[in-house]
Amino acid sequence: MQNSEAVLRVYSERGKEGKPLNRLYRQLFNPELYWEAYNSIYANLGARTNGASEDTLDGMSKKRIDNIIEKIKRETYRWNPVRRTYTPKTDGRRRPLGVPSGDDKLLQATMKMLLEAYYEPTFSDRSHGFRPKRGCHTALIQISKMHTGVNWFIEGDIKGCFDNIDHESLLGILGNRIEDGRMLRLISNLLNAGYLEDWAYNETPSGTPQGGIISPLLTNIYMDVLDKWVENELLPRYNRSRKSRGNGKLCGRRLNPEYTKLTRQITVSEKNGDIISAKSLRKMRNEIPSGDPTDDGYRKLEYIRYADDFLLSFAGPKSEAREIREEIRKFLQDRLKLELSEEKTLITHAKTQSARFLGYDLRVMHSSQIRTINGKMWLGIPPEVIRKNMRKYMVDGKPGTRTYLEENSDYAIITTYQVEYVGLVQYYIMAHNLRKLTRVNWAVRTSLLKTLASKHKSSVTKMAQKYAATLKKNGRNYKVLEVTVERTGKKPLIARYGATPLTRNPNPAEIKDTTPTVYGRRTDLIDRIKSDVCEMCGENGQTEVHHVRKLKDLTRPGRKPKPAWVKRMAALRRKTLVTCKTCHRAIHNGEHRPEWDANTIALESRML
């Protein structure tokens, strides 16, 4: 079998060159790809979440992968129905999610690696959702740079996109590039596997398995048809500009005759030494645009998409903006069999109203005082975001105590509040009104002090004095709340709340994926599994992996003494433990094996 890195590199090159993808199914016989896929998903919170069966990623082993491959070779692999669950949406409704079983997750992750390597180079630069090194911030940066000088926003939202993707159309789109009937049948079987809700089986005549690992990629492949149509047909038709007399290049609107006239008068006044008249004329010129707003030969249309939400920015009459919306609606209905949401697909005036995209308010700026900002994009935090995030910490209209956190250590409490607030600031770091989060900061800090005061049966003032500290950061001193946990022979653990400056950053740091992308190198987990040595008893033989959901679950305080395997994982700071079958069974049964004590003594003697 070929090295997994070489396989993915070849497929990536074929995608760039536009060549068809063949002999894809046989790559699912390669165990190295499964190990790479497992490495990318084993640390997820859902690794131990079961689907319709009790099967999870817990207990992963070489034998388990060999069994999957054997079924793939015989074409007898059968997808399990996903378990249907729901997550709340911001508007009060619930979003359906499908939870696959463990083997299905692994096979989906392997297929995703292969398909993503091929399709990723072919996707539009205007697509940002569920793609490597792309996200909300990259989409907003593109909007700031390209969606300037427009009059109208066309906000697009597809009604139930994930649930309404037509299977026949999707397989047809895949079949245009994938020349492998067995792979297409495997994907078709996945799409039609159905779901279980309240232990009742339901068919899935349309849609991708939302919540499945491969679903976002399949959705991007499907929606890429819209991206390409907009880029190749809609944008060229609605982008028009005059040509410069000098070099023949497109140069935007023609100059405003009134603006040009005032410029000449200012020049004459300055030559004559009439400074007062020049100043008055310059003030008049600042009140009008430099480009001619009546230029019928100028149009500008920009497009961007994130998953099933898209935004078009248009400079031109509103009647044409309506035409663009209708053309998109018709294309989605005829070509992709999807429907635009009536209540969410809006046409918004860019200078007087705000459009909502990715949780930001968007508006085109205009000022007669600072002309350099005219036409540029303003990004803002919506007022309801401030109210919603303050409500998390409020009780009866004022910051309150989070009693459920009182059982945690002071270190954990301060860390929890800091992580929540910093996450909010980092997401809205591009907002021009970022300072609005000062109100949220006040609510978070007060709630933190009240929680600590309630835990220690003290007052807010005493807690503020007890944990008060100063931190110097980027040459500036910040007042923070700080707790230090001393450790023997190690650096102390320090948790702080504060020192989070509300300074706008229009270009946030590049996204770094937490999981390997196309050519990611495996972690030492795979090497630990392949060594076939049990990390609890030290025996050689076939091993499998024991998982825990979170590291903090291992160190959670409790009355009972912690089992040996918990102490081992906590000491190693790992969410995985490679064990033999006997030890893995003992862990799940809550038993203790004498071999664990002997192996611990042997390990300690080696370290000494």
Q: Per residue in 98-147, pLDDT tens?
A: 889 999 999 999 999 999 999 999 999 999 999 999 999 999 999 999 99
Residue 518 is predicted with a pLDDT of: 37
Per-residue pLDDT band at 568 (split at 50, 70, 90)? confident
Handedness of CA 124, 312, 508, 129 (dihedral sign): negative
Q: What are phi and psi of 261, to 5 degrees?
A: -60, -45
Question: Would you say 339 and 333 are in contact if contact means Cβ atoms under 8 Å apart?
Answer: yes
Per-residue pLDDT band at 512 (split at 50, 70, 90)? low
Summarize pLDDT for 162-205 with one digit per residue, the tens: 889 999 999 999 999 999 999 999 999 999 999 998 889 989 89
Residue 585 is predicted with a pLDDT of: 93
* Assigned token pair, 431: 């907002």
Per-residue pLDDT band at 522 (split at 50, 70, 90)? very low
- Token pair 């007022």 is found at 383
* Whether pLDDT at 71 is above 50: yes
Question: Would you say 162 and 82 are in contact if contact means Cβ atoms under 8 Å apart?
Answer: no
12 or 257, which is more confident: 12
CA distance 244 to 504: 37
Helix (H) or strand (E) holding 32: helix 31-41
Per-residue pLDDT band at 246 (split at 50, 70, 90)? very low
Summarize pLDDT for 371-385 with one digit per residue, the tens: 678 789 999 999 999
86 or 368, which is more confident: 86
CA distance to 233, 240, 292, 362, per residue, from 296 (Å): 20, 9, 9, 26
* Whether pLDDT at 515 is above 70: no
Most confident by average pLDDT, 48-57, 371-380, 410-419, 554-563: 410-419
* Whether pLDDT at 263 is above 60: yes
* Whether pLDDT at 30 is above 80: yes
| Local structure of residue 434 (DSSP, 8 states) | G
Residue 66 is predicted with a pLDDT of: 95
Summarize pLDDT for 275-285 with one digit per residue, the tens: 888 888 888 88
* Whether pLDDT at 89 is above 50: yes
CA distance 449 to 445: 6
Q: What is the pTM of this model?
A: 0.86
Mean per-residue pLDDT, 219-230: 97
The mean of the pLDDT values for the chain is 88
CA distance 573 to 575: 7
CA distance 120 to 410: 45
Q: What angle do CA 410, 414, 417 make, to 5 degrees?
A: 145
Per-residue pLDDT band at 519 (split at 50, 70, 90)? very low
Residue 503 is predicted with a pLDDT of: 94
Per-residue pLDDT band at 356 (split at 50, 70, 90)? very high
Residue 517 is predicted with a pLDDT of: 40
Residue 252 is predicted with a pLDDT of: 66
Least trusted range by pLDDT, from 40-44, 122-126, 358-362: 40-44
* Whether pLDDT at 208 is above 50: yes
9 or 549, which is more confident: 9
Summarize pLDDT for 105-115 with one digit per residue, the tens: 999 999 999 99
Summarize pLDDT for 308-347 with one digit per residue, the tens: 999 999 999 999 999 999 999 999 999 999 999 888 889 9
**Residue 510 three-state SS:** coil
Residue 199 is predicted with a pLDDT of: 82
